[in-house]
Amino acid sequence: MFLINFRFMVVMKFGGTSVADAVCIRRVADIVKAQVERRLVLVLSAMGDTTDHLLEAGALAYHEGRVSMGAIERAHLETMRALGLGAAEGEIVPLLEELRGLLSGISRIRELSRRTKDYLLSFGERLSVRIMAACLVSLGMRARAFDAWDLGFVSDSNYTSAEIMGESWRLIPERVLPLVEEGTLPVLTGFIAKDAGGVITTLGRGGSDLSATMAAAACGAEEIQIWKDVDGILTADPRIVKNAKPVETVTYEEAAELAYFGAQVLHPRAMQPCMKTGTPVLVKNSYNPAAPGTRIVPSPEKGALPVRAITSRKNISLVDIVSTRMLGQYGFLAEVFSSFARHRISVDMVATSEVSVSLTLDTVNDLSVLKEELSRIASVELRKGKAIVTIVGNVKRSSEILARAFRTCEFLGVRVQMVSQGASKVNISFIVEDTEAEEVVRALHIDFFDRLELPESEGGGGTE
Ligand code: ASP
Ligand code: MG
């Protein structure tokens, strides 16, 4: 009865490493074919490191006046040939010509504004979707490549880091759903959009995740799958913790927090559209499709461990600002933060008392002017070489988490220099020395994850 209007639809997003070459693209085609009955929309990144290569080509044209795009051209044409898609080159060659024209323009007028950069970077995704669509068609699927702007992605004009505009919530389903209903499999560029004036924009590095979650949320998809080159969101950075393992489920907030704190799994803003609609997200590994992956859901699962993952960020500066005015002086914090805002320095962690504030920043910032400005009202002390260790998990259990974390630090002889429990309710962060961070992360990982692997009922038996 009412089922007629019920739309099954799944959005699948494949990142650069998942579509890096002909072998990868074939692997993706198999993954797509296995689920094609579910009515799919694909969102793709540029192939491999194409975005970086485009940036390099742009810099070369701009600084040295040279046009060099041989590697980009070769990678795309060779991939097509290896896939037996020579006949579809007609779609790719004009784009490569347009790119050559742009690079030679940049080399002649020596202009590479943020706006031009976005136009330049757009070629990566525009090329990859056309190759993928041709490959799917060659395997008998009714795929068709689309540029994001043809399917309703409108952004503001904040080039290199544009925001998708509200009207896209209406425009995307208006364009996408009729295609899906007539049996077309749209293969859509991630990362890019056009502003109201029709100028190409990008959503910031890694932005295809956001394109995909936006498409899924706006179309009311039943699920979005984000295909990466790891088995899901991991409990820690595998370069630091060798036995880091995929987390079964996390909440949107936890995933967003992990993205922000440097677990390079998702774009920091990617969870926002899904949070509005409750669309479930599945993070999967295109190199290992059989692995269950990580499910991102609205609220924590019952019986979940207190901690989801542990991350760290190095090269942090700790700034102590102590008011030199009278105790209880109001407006002190306001003055401090407006100084930071004026100098466009972004602050991560903050701890305050009435007359002092400690905060953390990335060490890349130059603080000399700010320090001079603040010296009217405060003494400012800067300490470099710090790291933020972040425990993402269920903050309702913060007492337990903090107790265990502090016990671990004490055991290691590591002094915790500042603590903050994020307003996000899912993160507990603290500052240690840069040189201590990895050891702390490893020890915390043992405490929160590895111990629990001991078979409880068998009293640790098991000789296998
Ligand atoms: N290709 C873009 C980048 O490398 C966008 C993405 O991959 O999500 O940042
Ligand atoms: Mg990429």
- Residue with the two structure tokens 């926002």: 272
End-to-end Cα, the chain, rounded Å = 56
Residue range 41-45: mean pLDDT, rounded = 98
pLDDT of residue 463: 35
Name the residue at shortest CA distance from atom 5 of ligand 1.
206
Model confidence at 452, pLDDT cuts 50, 70, 90, reads low
225 CB less than 6 Å from ligand 1?
no
pTM for the whole structure: 0.84
208 Cα nearest atom in ligand 1: 8
Q: What average pLDDT does the chain have?
A: 90
pLDDT of residue 210: 97
Share of residues in the chain with pLDDT > 90 (%): 67
Judge contact between 393 and 306, C-beta under 8 A.
yes
15 Cα nearest atom in ligand 1: 7
Please state the length of the chain: 464
Model confidence at 266, pLDDT cuts 50, 70, 90, reads confident
Which ligand has the nearest atom to the CA of 127? Answer: 1
Residue range 59-85: mean pLDDT, rounded = 97
* pLDDT digits 0-9 by tens, 205-237: 999 999 999 999 999 999 999 999 888 888 998
Please say if the pLDDT value at position 455 is more than 80. no
For the sheet containing 40-44, what is the strand order? 143-146, 185-189, 40-44, 10-14, 223-228, 281-285, 294-297, 249-251
Please say if the pLDDT value at position 1 is more than 70. no
Greater confidence (367 vs 113) lies with 113
Please say if the pLDDT value at position 261 is more than 70. no
Q: Using DSSP, how many helices (H) and how many strands (E) does the chain show?
A: 13, 17
pLDDT of residue 130: 98
* pLDDT digits 0-9 by tens, 347-405: 888 888 778 889 998 877 777 888 888 888 888 998 999 999 999 988 788 888 999 99
Which ligand has the nearest atom to the CA of 202? Answer: 1
316 CB less than 6 Å from ligand 1?
no
19-25 CB contacts, 8 Å cutoff, 24+ apart: 19/44, 19/45, 19/47, 19/48, 19/128, 19/132, 20/47, 20/48, 21/47, 21/48, 21/75, 21/79, 21/82, 22/78, 22/79, 22/82, 22/83, 24/286, 25/79, 25/83, 25/131, 25/132, 25/135
**How remote is the CA of residue 204 from the centroid of ligand 1, in Å?**
8
Reported as half-sphere exposure (CB side, CA atoms, 13 A), residue 125 has a value of 33
Please say if the pLDDT value at position 421 is more than 80. no
Which ligand has the nearest atom to the CA of 55? Answer: 1
Greater confidence (164 vs 421) lies with 164
207 Cα nearest atom in ligand 1: 8
17 CB less than 6 Å from ligand 1?
no
C-alpha span between 433 and 439 (Å, rounded): 11
pLDDT of residue 369: 83
Q: Which domains does the chain have, with CATH numbers?
A: 9-229 (3.40.1160.10), 307-458 (3.30.2130.10)
Please say if the pLDDT value at position 3 is more than 80. no
161 CB less than 6 Å from ligand 1?
no
What are 8's strand-pairing partners? none
Please say if the pLDDT value at position 330 is more than 80. no
pLDDT of residue 7: 59
Which ligand has the nearest atom to the CA of 123? Answer: 1
Model confidence at 462, pLDDT cuts 50, 70, 90, reads very low
pLDDT of residue 459: 37
191 CB less than 6 Å from ligand 1?
yes
C-alpha span between 310 and 401 (Å, rounded): 12
pLDDT of residue 21: 97
Q: Name the least confident of 288-292, 325-329, 431-435.
A: 325-329
Model confidence at 332, pLDDT cuts 50, 70, 90, reads confident
Q: Ligand 1: which of 18, 55, 123, 191 to mutate, most ligand atoms within 8 Å of CB? A: 191
Please say if the pLDDT value at position 328 is more than 70. no
